[in-house]
Chains A and B, each alone.
Chain A
Amino acid sequence: MNDILNINYYKETLDNGLDVILYDDKSIPLTAVNLWYKVGSANEKPGKTGFAHLFEHMMFQGSENVSKEMHFRYIQEAGGSLNGSTSFDRTNYYETLPSNFLELALWLESDRMGLLLPALTQEKLTNQKEVVMNERRQRYENQPYGMAWELLFSNLFNDKHPYHWPTIGWMKDIENFQLEDVRNFFKTYYLPNNTSLIIGGDFEHEQALDLVKKYFGDFKSNSDIPKINFEQEQLDEVIRIDHEDDVQLPRLYLAWHSDKLYGKDDAVLDVLSEILSGSKNTRLYRTLVYEKQIAQDVSCFQYSANLQGMFIIIATAKPGVELHTIREEIFSEIEKIVEANIEDREIQKARNSVKSSYIYSLQNLSTLVDHMNNYNCNLNEPNSFIFDLNRYEQIKKIHIINSIEKYLDKPFVELHIIPKKK
């Protein structure tokens, strides 16, 4: 079964530093183009947050040879689908098109990488500022429990830490976006040597490589990309926050600092989250939802990012149940893992579901190349599915116990989202 997770690819770094990866699969006449720019909200400065995400909007607003609205239109007219996303650490852009339109995609991607600024106007910025503010209202402010994430992160990380602010940015910073700052941010980070490009699917190898060189080859690199300065954050004591929201039921959030992406304990914490709440027959789900029925739901995950990770547990109270009851149960279950034994079955189950999820993810070309780009940007090796799975194969009970002691026995952020008093 590991054979199919062993992905063949070709990789070349152009003279200007652009990583180019080709992955050949002629089973369907589609081609996926996927770019990771190594810039995310962690590259922003306090008072000027939200820039990385703003580009996920501005990059679709046209460039020197592509007028406003035409980026979308060209790809849609070709029958393609497209999007982008922003995290703490990177911004990605991707499209999947019928394979005869590969050159169109490379033309569009290169025009906005190299020639966005000549077409950037105050009018476009003002319009997309409004759109982003509405995105913030729709996805956070007008969503039940929508403010939880920024409350967690801004308390878990101090105001100088690059993970302190939300990826979309603070509303007041979005309102104050200035054209000059936007230009400078682009010039600093949107560079070939800060980018990894993958073409996957149905294409001719030599032709694709020539096209990439034709369209991306003349952009200049710049070695002055600022490094992110930060100090590993630790909490001295538990931080407790109560926040009233327009919700029916109280919800508890517990968040600890944990290991970073692909760190030594990252996969161990993943398995711990599976053992706690990955399915029905898990420690927290069984106790809180199935047996005692004091929670409507419980979930838990290792949120690993490039600089640091976070381990997060979330549970919603059943009507009439107090959050401290749920909190006590959660801690008692974690204690039981340390005191009593973990069964092999629990670890094996977690491994199996990770492995099958990787195999299932291969059926979608766009998902597959995005995964490969993640591996290339973080591990410098696009073919890392097997390496990744091996991290899980090596996990023993003792690693899980050690990780609980190392991370979860430390101070944490405890957030209570509670219904507004009527």
Chain B
Amino acid sequence: MITDRSKAPLPKEEIDFHLPRIEKFKLPNGLKILFVEKNNLPIIHFNLVLNAGSKFDPDGKNGLAQLTSMLLDEGTKTKNALDIDDEFESLGTVFNIAIDHDSIYLSMLSLMENLDNSLSLFAEILTEPAFNDSDFEREHRKLSTQILQLKDQPSYIADSIFESVIFNGTPYSFPVMGTDITTKNLVNKDVIEYYNSKFVPDDACLVVVGNISTELLTEKLKDAFKSWSGNNSPNSQLLKPGEEHAKIYIFDKPGSPQSEIRIGNLCEPRDEKFYYSKKVVNTILGGQFSSRINLNLREDKGYTYGAHSSFYYNKLHGYFTVATAVETKNTVPAVKEILKELSAIHEGIRDDEIAFAKSYLIRKYPAMFDSYSKIASNLTTLHVYDLPPQYFENFIQNIEATEINELIAAAKNNIKTDKLSIVLIGDKTSLLENLSEEIEAEIIEVDHYGNSIH
């Protein structure tokens, strides 16, 4: 018998998927806990979110939060950096510190059999850092070398310049790492002050996903964090970004075989009302492989290895970006195609595109909860954006409910075709040859941090 392959097989009956149950409680010191019990493996994942990201860096000291996060696990009252690392390695525990503009994240993945030792070391790092001068010197030098090295990285330069331009005048315009100038004069006292004022439990959140009961976990956490206390001082009002204008920013990288391209603008912040429409619009426009932008630039024109767009959010703002890297000679044609796609999405969206996007977003939802780490990352999102408790339960119906007129409105309100910032990292001479004739916008040459150099 010959198999009939002519039609795509249809799915079997719909799957039965249950969201994990989220427990929410507080420790006596004010630390908020978000917990999911998951028992198929003997492991546990922690993610502590501290309200201490780089947007709180004092004026002229950008990079301080980053340096503080680097120093945190470099020594406690009784252990140096090597002892700490040795202990984690021997336990088979993975410990990591990360930072963005809003928060500092301490994460840990441990075997259940080593939970007590892992947790006690985690708490010691958090509450008893040594901040020795010699460690400061070493990490300070490491940071300035990292800043130097990032000047090699075209995609990093593109992101930094784009953020500096759209967030102009606010702390979000500075790279998390800081710059050569702002990190140069940091001293250990700055780090200690930053730690004392920002590393406090009352506006932090600990996410836990693991093979443990709520009762036992609570008991262990109370014990581990009993000496941690303090309140965050109220933050000063953060500044609003300046007005956006359609401009082209060029960073010259002579002889570069490719150009990095970023095109976008500020948009509405993350809020429940418009989030889902933006999500569906972006899925169609550039959020996945089969999107308009990728199919045009990669699968039709062959300009790039990949092109995508995204709505990004921090706690206060939203922004929209298209990002890609293309061969130098195709840079201007690629920019024109992107601009064409951004205008086109204002004009209309087909029903089959909407059906595809909704099916994609809804059906992939269960896979977002398949591992300990992914569940932890979802709980972190819940905390960072202060989402409603029913967010996960309602996600699917909220996507389902978006209608064509809302999608078009979301596109028009959030993709501002008359105010786009265009950032190009590449060979200036070659870019300038045809740029000014082809695209109407002021061209500005900038340095690594988006400052005009003329």
Contacts and interface: CB of A to CB of B under 8 A. Distances in A.
Contact of A360 (B15, B17, B43, B301): B43
Contacts of A281: 82-83, 85-86, 89
Given A134-B302, A359-B41, A279 B89 contact: yes
A363 B367 contact: no
A81 B253 CA distance: 36
B41 A4 contact: yes
Choose among B6, B16, B370 the residue with the greatest number of A CB atoms under 10 Å from its CB. B370
Interface in A71-129: 72-74, 76-81, 96, 98-104, 107, 110-111, 115, 126-129
A394 to B, nearest CB: 19
Interface in B331-378: 356, 359-360, 362-367, 369-373
A293 B138 contact: yes
A28 B370 contact: yes
Interface range on chain B (Cβ under 8 Å from partner) = 35 or more
A318 B258 contact: no
B325 A104 contact: no
A53 interface: no
A349 B326 contact: no
Given A73-B290, A214-B3, A28 B366 contact: yes
A142 B258 contact: yes
Contact of B92 (A101, A290, A356): A356
B165 to A, nearest CB: 22
Nearest to B361: A79
Given A293-B138, A364-B371, A353 B12 contact: no
Nearest to A3: B42
B154 interface: yes
Contacts of B15: 29, 98-100
A296 B149 contact: yes
Contact of B13 (A100, A137, A352, A364): A100
A359 B322 CA distance: 38
Query: What does DSSP make chain A's interface, helix, strand, loop or mixed?
Result: helix
B26 interface: no
B277 to A, nearest CB: 20
B40 interface: yes
Contacts of B362: 79
Given A98-B366, A104-B9, A356-B92, A131 B359 contact: no
B305 A127 contact: no
Given A27-B40, A319-B145, A362-B41, A280 B367 contact: no
A144 interface: yes
B81 to A, nearest CB: 6
Interface in A348-379: 348-349, 352-353, 355-357, 359-360, 362-365
Contacts of B245: none
Contact of B370 (A101, A115, A365): A365
Contacts of B371: 363-364
B433 interface: no
B370 A76 contact: no
B408 to A, nearest CB: 22
Interface string A21-60: 0000001111000000000000000000000000000000
Interface stretch (B231-239, B292-300, B310-318, B409-417): B292-300
Interface in B43-91: 43, 81-83, 85-86, 88-91
Given A101-B11, A138-B305, A356-B111, A248 B85 contact: no
Interface in B87-142: 88-94, 109, 111, 113, 138, 141-142
A353 B367 CA distance: 27
A348 B148 CA distance: 37
A249 B6 contact: no
Contacts of B290: 69, 72-73, 76
B288 interface: yes
A335 interface: no
B5 A352 contact: no
Nearest to A201: B370
B253 A246 contact: yes
B337 to A, nearest CB: 14
Contact of B327 (A27, A134, A214): A134
A96 to B, nearest CB: 6
B152 interface: yes
Interface string B17-42: 10000000000000000000000111
A290 B371 CA distance: 35
Contacts of B257: 137, 141-142
Contacts of B216: none
A296 B301 CA distance: 41
Interface string A406-418: 0000000000000
A242 interface: no
A134 B326 contact: yes
Given A98-B15, A127-B302, A293-B141, A218 B3 contact: yes
A353 B89 contact: yes
A72 B299 CA distance: 12
A79 B383 CA distance: 26
A127 B300 contact: yes
Contacts of B365: 79
Given A79-B359, A359-B41, A363-B373, A138 B258 contact: yes
B152 A134 contact: no
B159 to A, nearest CB: 15
A159 interface: no
Given A96-B367, A103-B9, A280 B82 contact: yes
Nearest to A133: B327
A279 B326 CA distance: 37
A30 B153 CA distance: 38
A78 B40 contact: no
Contacts of B42: 1, 4, 359
Contacts of B81: 280, 290
B168 interface: no
29 contacts: A1-B42, A4-B41, A4-B42, A28-B366, A29-B15, A29-B17, A73-B356, A79-B364, A81-B364, A98-B11, A100-B15, A104-B11, A126-B302, A131-B302, A131-B305, A134-B302, A134-B327, A135-B305, A246-B255, A248-B149, A248-B152, A280-B81, A280-B82, A280-B85, A281-B86, A296-B149, A345-B86, A348-B90, A359-B43
Interface of B: 2-3, 5-9, 11-17, 40-43, 81-83, 85-86, 88-94, 109, 111, 113, 138, 141-142, 145-146, 148-149, 151-154, 253, 255-258, 288-290, 295, 298-305, 325-327, 356, 359-360, 362-367, 369-373
Q: What 10 A-B pairs are tightest by C-beta distance, nearest first?
A: A79-B363, A356-B92, A130-B302, A144-B152, A79-B364, A280-B85, A29-B15, A281-B82, A103-B9, A135-B305
